[in-house]
Amino acid sequence: MPTLNAVLEAALYVDDLARAKAFYEDRMGLGLLRADNRMCAFDVGGRNILLLFQRGASAQTMTISGGTIPPHDGQGPLHIAFAISADELQAWEEKLEKSGIAIEGRTTWQRGGTSLYFRDPDGHLLELATPGLWQTY
């Protein structure tokens, strides 16, 4: 069986792309890689990409110079977890509070990791997780 190396991209579908772009840049501190009227791409830790798509804007096959991208879209609140270091957990809690972002949940896992849960402007559940959540993290 060939090997999968990592999850390269994760996508969220948003109702207001400009609002979502501002949230992930300003409040989450992600670096913008690319943006247009259909989507934004953000660097996450130099290893992963978070894609934000304007809901409905990718529901048709897209033809680009190198080929085609099949249609995709999503509805409802989705979930993404971001890895953070344990020594930055308190700083993240303070940043969220200062930004007016309510922490909806906090979990301390059996392996020792801690997760904080909160929402983005589109209602997607975001998680900040310290090492100890999974066997591999």
> Last residue of some domain: 44, 74, 104?
74
Look at residues 55, 41, 129 and name the one whose alpha carbon lies nearest to residue 92.
Answer: 129
pTM of the model: 0.94
Assess whether 61 and 36 both reside in one domain.
yes
Q: Which residues are paired to 35 by β-bridges?
A: 40
Assess whether 59 and 85 both reside in one domain.
no
Assess whether 69 and 82 both reside in one domain.
no
- Residue 27: both structure tokens together: 């409040």
CA 39 from chain centre, in angstroms, equals: 13
Q: What pLDDT, on a 0 to 100 scale, did the predictor assign at position 4?
A: 85
Determine the Cα–Cα distance for residues 11 and 26; give it in Å rounded to an integer.
19
> Last residue of some domain: 55, 74, 93?
74
Assess whether 70 and 85 both reside in one domain.
no
- Give how many domains the chain has, as a whole number: 2
- Residue 34: both structure tokens together: 């690319």
Size of the chain in residues: 137
> Last residue of some domain: 74, 103, 124?
74
Q: What is the span of the domain harbouring residue 106?
A: 76-137
Which pLDDT tens digits describe the chain residue by residue (137 residues)?
998 889 999 999 999 999 999 999 999 999 999 999 999 999 999 999 999 999 999 999 999 999 999 999 999 999 999 999 999 999 999 999 999 999 999 999 999 999 999 999 999 999 999 999 999 99
- Residue 15: both structure tokens together: 């109702």
Assess whether 34 and 45 both reside in one domain.
yes
Assess whether 68 and 2 both reside in one domain.
yes
Assess whether 66 and 90 both reside in one domain.
no
